[in-house]
């Protein structure tokens, strides 16, 4: 009989971006007060650097 291949575990999704690799940030306007608008813009997730997978060291 042939030996069975071990299944590789699925990577754990990043808790900050839910595995998407990017987060959304509120757009702010104005030089001094930085008034928040209703608009949103996408930003790269800094916890996983856009991979969508949680880091192995948990940091």
- Give the model confidence (pLDDT) of 13-55 as tens digits: 999 899 999 999 999 999 898 899 999 999 999 989 989 998 7
CB 28 within 8 A of CB 35: yes
Predicted TM-score (pTM) of this structure: 0.59
* Geometric angle at alpha carbon 49, from 47 and 52, rounded to 5°: 80
Alpha carbons within 13 angstroms on the beta-carbon side of residue 27 total 7
Other beta carbons within 10 Å of 21: 17
Residue 39 token pair: 């608009």
Sorted by where each begins, the domain ranges of the chain are 12-59
pLDDT value for 4: 87
């Amino acid at each position: 009989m042939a030996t069975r291949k071990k299944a590789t575990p699925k990577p754990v999704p990043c808790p900050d971006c839910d595995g998407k690799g990017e987060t959304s940030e509120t757009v702010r306007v104005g030089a001094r007060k930085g008034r928040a608008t209703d608009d949103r813009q996408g930003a790269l997730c800094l916890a996983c650097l856009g991979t969508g997978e949680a880091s192995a060291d948990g940091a």
